């Protein structure tokens, strides 16, 4: 049965958005609106140490300023990950019943790094982690030590393929590439891969549009959703913006929305983003709604956009 189209914005309020975040949000909005779908705005404020309400407020305000609207979501508490712990807990218990999670006593630094969204260069391989292979005695001794473990997902040792709407077929063996990931930290906070999968599933998301740095997470998320009994969304990743050019472009690449808003009108900024990613041939001010008539993934760049 055809499911109604549901897209989402899912920023992490750990700082102000920058031009790369804005491009991802614009593409998510265009994709969803072009399909006549409903847009959900989810606040990914999982990590209490990094998330700040001031950034959450600013993100919502920046999206409105840019002309990107949504249909349901934040500030409704049901759409803030920090308020959805019971749902992650329920999914975790289901995975536990099936033997798909195991305790891990590796160091705190390793756990924290592995629990955040794995942007390139951040993902820790877990080759050094022996926790999945502890003998019964070793595990019992660690449990007795009183130190709370993190919990890791036993990733499937099989090829999982995702038909990405922009980059084509992407296949990965999650157990061998990237390895088991933390789903619950030692301090009880649920981690990115579990939370995002549960949320996309329970919010009925059918279109995940985001930056291509998260393409490598898609097979794991698809598998998790299907393992939990849900229907995986379609994934469509977009190009990243990298500031590699001269002085001016480096500056633009590092500016936050707060600063960009001083220099640009909303239409001028949308026009620049649309020009950067290939949607329009000449840079000129345009509103997101006006862009809808020319939007097509075929026009969107695949390579990183060097500014
Ligand atoms: N919250 C993540 C980020 O801001 C994005 C998660 C996702 O789109 O799956 O990097």
Q: Per residue in 76-111, pLDDT tens?
A: 999 999 999 999 999 999 999 999 999 999 876 755
Residue 29 corresponds to which tokens in the numbers above?
Answer: 């909005």
Question: Exposure of 11 by Cβ count < 10 A (0-12 exposed, 13-18 middle, 19+ buried)?
Answer: buried
- pLDDT exceeds 70 at position 161: yes
Atom of ligand 1 nearest to the CA of 119: 10
Q: Given pLDDT bands bounded at 50, 70 and 90, which one contains residue 254?
A: confident
Q: Is 87 in the pocket of ligand 1 (CB under 6 A)?
A: no
Q: Is 10 in the pocket of ligand 1 (CB under 6 A)?
A: yes
**Rounded to an integer, what distance in angstroms lies between the CA atom of residue 93 and that of residue 103?**
13
Residue 12 CA to ligand 1 center (angstroms) comes to 6
Q: Is 42 in the pocket of ligand 1 (CB under 6 A)?
A: no
CA dihedral 13, 14, 20, 25 (to 10 degrees): -10
Task: Note the CATH number of domain 6-83+204-306.
Answer: 3.40.50.620
Q: Is 117 in the pocket of ligand 1 (CB under 6 A)?
A: yes
Nearest of 224, 233, 180 to residue 92 by alpha carbon: 224
CB 183 within 8 A of CB 91: no
Question: Could you tell me how many residues make up the chain?
Answer: 307
Q: Is 214 in the pocket of ligand 1 (CB under 6 A)?
A: yes
CA distances from 92 to 152, 191, 269 (A): 10, 11, 42
Q: Is 228 in the pocket of ligand 1 (CB under 6 A)?
A: no
Which residues lie below 8 Å from residue 144, measured CB to CB, with a gap of 6+? none
Residue 193 CA to ligand 1 center (angstroms) comes to 10
Q: Given pLDDT bands bounded at 50, 70 and 90, which one contains residue 120?
A: very low
pLDDT of residue 249: 58
pLDDT of residue 242: 86
The mean pLDDT value of the chain amounts to: 92
Where are the chain's structural domains? 6-83+204-306, 85-193
Which letter, b or e, does each residue of 235-248 get, where b requires 16 or more Cβ atoms within 10 Å of its Cβ?
bbbbbbbebeeeee
CA torsion sign for 189, 199, 56, 180 is: positive
Q: Is 28 in the pocket of ligand 1 (CB under 6 A)?
A: no
- Identify which of 8, 11, 41 to mutate to test ligand 1's pocket (most ligand atoms within 8 A of the CB): 11
Does 85-193 carry CATH code 3.30.70.2860?
A: no
Atom of ligand 1 nearest to the CA of 8: 8
Q: Per residue in 23-66, pLDDT tens?
A: 999 999 999 999 999 999 999 999 999 999 999 999 999 999 99
pLDDT of residue 113: 61
Which residues lie below 8 Å from residue 227, measured CB to CB, with a gap of 6+? 95, 98, 100
pLDDT of residue 73: 97
pLDDT of residue 124: 46
Residue 62 corresponds to which tokens in the numbers above?
Answer: 């920046």
């Amino acid at each position: 049965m055809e499911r109604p189209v549901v897209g989402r914005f899912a920023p992490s309020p750990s700082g102000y958005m920058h031009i790369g975040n804005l491009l991802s949000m614009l593409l998510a909005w265009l994709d969803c609106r072009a399909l006549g779908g409903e847009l959900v705005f989810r606040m990914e404020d999982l990590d209490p140490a990094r998330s700040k309400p001031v950034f959450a407020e600013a993100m919502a305000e920046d999206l409105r300023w840019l002309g990107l609207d949504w249909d349901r979501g934040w500030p409704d508490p049901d759409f803030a990950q920090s308020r959805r712990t019971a749902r992650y807990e329920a999914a975790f218990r289901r995975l536990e019943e099936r033997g798909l999670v195991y305790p891990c006593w590796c160091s705190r630094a390793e756990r924290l790094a592995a629990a955040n969204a794995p942007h390139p260069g951040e993902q820790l391989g877990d080759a050094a982690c022996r926790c999945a292979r502890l003998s019964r005695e070793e595990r019992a001794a660690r449990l007795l030590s009183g130190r709370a473990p993190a919990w890791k997902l036993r990733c499937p040792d099989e090829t999982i393929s995702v038909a990405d709407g922009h980059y084509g077929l992407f296949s990965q063996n999650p157990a061998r590439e990237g390895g088991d990931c933390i789903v619950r930290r030692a301090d009880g906070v649920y981690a990115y891969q579990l939370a995002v999968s549960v949320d996309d599933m329970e919010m009925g998301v059918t279109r995940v549009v985001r930056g291509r740095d998260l393409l490598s997470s898609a097979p794991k998320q698809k598998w998790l959703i299907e393992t939990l009994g849900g229907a995986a969304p379609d994934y469509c990743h977009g190009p990243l913006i990298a500031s590699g050019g001269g002085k001016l472009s480096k500056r633009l690449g590092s500016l936050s929305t707060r600063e960009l808003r001083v220099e640009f009108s909303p239409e001028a900024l949308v026009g620049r983003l649309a020009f950067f990613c290939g949607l329009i041939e000449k840079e000129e001010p345009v509103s997101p709604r006006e862009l809808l008539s020319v939007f097509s993934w075929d026009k969107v760049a695949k390579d990183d956009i060097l500014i």
